[in-house]
Protein backbone atom coordinates (compact mmCIF):
# COMPACT_ATOMS: atom_id res chain seq x y z
CA UNK A 1 0.00 0.00 0.00
CA UNK A 2 1.50 3.34 -1.06
CA UNK A 3 0.66 6.78 0.25
CA UNK A 4 2.15 10.23 0.63
CA UNK A 5 3.36 11.83 3.89
CA UNK A 6 1.37 14.96 4.71
CA UNK A 7 2.01 17.85 7.08
CA UNK A 8 -0.40 16.31 9.61
CA UNK A 9 1.92 13.28 9.87
CA UNK A 10 4.95 15.28 10.95
CA UNK A 11 6.22 16.67 14.27
CA UNK A 12 7.90 19.96 15.15
CA UNK A 13 11.15 18.65 13.66
CA UNK A 14 9.57 18.08 10.25
CA UNK A 15 9.74 14.29 10.38
CA UNK A 16 6.96 11.75 10.76
CA UNK A 17 5.89 11.61 14.40
CA UNK A 18 6.71 8.16 15.79
CA UNK A 19 3.14 7.30 16.82
CA UNK A 20 1.87 7.83 13.27
CA UNK A 21 3.62 4.63 12.22
CA UNK A 22 1.12 2.65 14.34
CA UNK A 23 -1.65 3.98 12.10
CA UNK A 24 0.38 3.28 8.98
CA UNK A 25 0.83 -0.33 10.10
CA UNK A 26 -2.91 -0.60 10.85
CA UNK A 27 -3.81 0.61 7.36
CA UNK A 28 -1.30 -1.83 5.89
CA UNK A 29 -2.84 -4.77 7.76
CA UNK A 30 -6.37 -3.82 6.71
CA UNK A 31 -5.35 -3.50 3.06
CA UNK A 32 -3.39 -6.76 3.25
CA UNK A 33 -6.60 -8.55 4.30
CA UNK A 34 -8.71 -6.65 1.77
CA UNK A 35 -6.38 -7.79 -1.04
CA UNK A 36 -7.13 -11.33 0.11
CA UNK A 37 -10.90 -10.86 -0.03
CA UNK A 38 -11.56 -10.12 3.65
CA UNK A 39 -13.16 -7.10 5.26
CA UNK A 40 -12.22 -6.16 8.83
CA UNK A 41 -15.66 -4.56 9.17
CA UNK A 42 -17.46 -7.74 8.09
CA UNK A 43 -15.37 -9.87 10.45
CA UNK A 44 -16.27 -7.48 13.30
CA UNK A 45 -19.96 -7.66 12.39
CA UNK A 46 -19.67 -11.45 12.77
CA UNK A 47 -18.19 -11.07 16.25
CA UNK A 48 -14.45 -11.25 15.51
CA UNK A 49 -12.23 -8.32 16.32
CA UNK A 50 -8.45 -8.29 16.37
CA UNK A 51 -6.77 -6.16 19.04
CA UNK A 52 -3.01 -5.77 18.96
CA UNK A 53 -1.49 -7.61 21.94
CA UNK A 54 2.20 -7.19 21.14
CA UNK A 55 4.24 -4.87 18.96
CA UNK A 56 7.96 -4.42 18.33
CA UNK A 57 9.16 -1.47 16.27
CA UNK A 58 12.59 -0.48 14.99
CA UNK A 59 12.93 3.09 13.74
CA UNK A 60 15.78 3.15 11.21
CA UNK A 61 15.42 6.38 9.23
CA UNK A 62 12.92 9.25 9.17
CA UNK A 63 10.16 9.80 6.66
CA UNK A 64 9.58 13.47 5.91
CA UNK A 65 6.90 15.69 4.41
CA UNK A 66 5.93 14.71 0.85
CA UNK A 67 7.75 11.34 0.88
CA UNK A 68 5.90 8.60 -0.97
CA UNK A 69 6.06 5.50 1.23
CA UNK A 70 4.89 1.92 1.02
CA UNK A 71 3.71 -0.37 3.83
CA UNK A 72 4.66 -3.99 3.25
CA UNK A 73 3.04 -6.76 5.28
CA UNK A 74 3.93 -10.44 5.53
CA UNK A 75 2.57 -13.22 7.72
CA UNK A 76 5.12 -14.60 10.17
CA UNK A 77 3.02 -16.96 12.29
CA UNK A 78 -0.55 -18.23 12.53
CA UNK A 79 -1.84 -19.80 15.74
CA UNK A 80 -5.25 -21.02 16.86
CA UNK A 81 -6.42 -17.65 18.20
CA UNK A 82 -3.70 -15.25 17.07
CA UNK A 83 -1.42 -14.31 14.21
CA UNK A 84 1.77 -12.31 13.83
CA UNK A 85 2.79 -10.17 10.89
CA UNK A 86 6.00 -8.42 9.95
CA UNK A 87 5.53 -4.92 8.60
CA UNK A 88 7.84 -2.38 7.01
CA UNK A 89 7.52 1.22 5.92
CA UNK A 90 9.76 1.76 2.89
CA UNK A 91 10.45 5.02 1.02
CA UNK A 92 9.41 4.43 -2.59
CA UNK A 93 12.01 6.78 -4.14
CA UNK A 94 15.03 4.74 -3.06
CA UNK A 95 13.61 1.59 -1.42
CA UNK A 96 15.11 2.58 1.94
CA UNK A 97 13.69 0.78 4.97
CA UNK A 98 12.42 3.45 7.36
CA UNK A 99 10.58 1.46 10.02
CA UNK A 100 10.24 -2.26 10.63
CA UNK A 101 7.94 -3.99 13.03
CA UNK A 102 6.40 -7.18 14.25
CA UNK A 103 2.73 -7.13 15.33
CA UNK A 104 0.72 -9.86 17.07
CA UNK A 105 -3.08 -9.74 17.04
CA UNK A 106 -5.53 -12.00 18.83
CA UNK A 107 -9.06 -12.84 17.73
CA UNK A 108 -11.64 -11.98 20.38
CA UNK A 109 -15.40 -12.08 20.54
CA UNK A 110 -17.99 -10.73 22.94
CA UNK A 111 -16.54 -9.87 26.34
CA UNK A 112 -13.04 -9.75 24.79
CA UNK A 113 -12.74 -13.52 25.15
CA UNK A 114 -10.19 -15.15 22.82
CA UNK A 115 -11.70 -17.30 20.09
CA UNK A 116 -10.43 -19.37 17.21
CA UNK A 117 -9.43 -17.55 14.06
CA UNK A 118 -12.16 -17.86 11.39
CA UNK A 119 -11.36 -20.47 8.73
CA UNK A 120 -11.42 -17.89 5.91
CA UNK A 121 -8.91 -15.75 7.78
CA UNK A 122 -6.56 -18.69 8.29
CA UNK A 123 -6.82 -19.46 4.58
CA UNK A 124 -6.10 -15.82 3.67
CA UNK A 125 -3.07 -15.73 5.96
CA UNK A 126 -1.49 -18.90 4.60
CA UNK A 127 1.15 -18.52 1.90
CA UNK A 128 0.01 -18.97 -1.65
CA UNK A 129 1.17 -22.21 -3.21
CA UNK A 130 1.93 -22.39 -6.93
Catalytic residues: 11
**Which positions ≥6 away from 27 have C-beta within 8 Å?**
1, 3, 71
Strand-pairing partners, residue 4, are 68
HSE-up of residue 60 (Cα within 13 Å, Cβ side):
12
Q: Are 4 and 66 in contact (CB under 8 A)?
A: yes
Amino acid sequence: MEFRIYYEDTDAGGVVYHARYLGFFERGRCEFLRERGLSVRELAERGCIFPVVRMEIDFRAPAVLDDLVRVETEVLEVGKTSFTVGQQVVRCLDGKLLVGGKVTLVCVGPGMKPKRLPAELIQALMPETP
